[in-house]
Amino acid sequence: MKILIIFYDLQQPDQNYEKVTQKIRSYENWAMLGRSAYLIMTNSTVVQVRDAINSLLNKGDKLFVGTCPVPAAWIGLPDDVSRWIQENQPKHK
């Protein structure tokens, strides 16, 4: 499995946020970085994840799905999200 990072920007905020977040949270293992940013663990490709979420977007919405490289550095994330990252990111020797 690999960690993917998802960023989205919906132009009509109240319209599809719930559907998009439900789709993202349907992946077995995920962490919310912010209102519109998630990490997920999946065997799916970035294209597969993009296409699955894209089906919920409207014209003008923005979406980015990428492979999350390591090491990672962060500040200000909740403890449970920090723990998720530390437990799930691949270990480099």
Where do the domains of the chain lie?
Answer: 2-88
Non-local CB neighbours of 58 within 8 Å, separated by 6+ positions? 10, 11, 12, 15, 16
> With 60 as the cut, is the pLDDT of residue 21 above it?
yes
> With 80 as the cut, is the pLDDT of residue 31 above it?
yes
Class of the 2-88 domain? alpha beta
pTM of the model: 0.84
pLDDT number for residue 13: 62
Two tokens at 5?
């990072």
pLDDT tens column, 42-93 = 999 999 999 999 999 988 899 999 998 777 888 888 999 988 888 887 776 5
Higher-confidence position of 5 and 75: 5
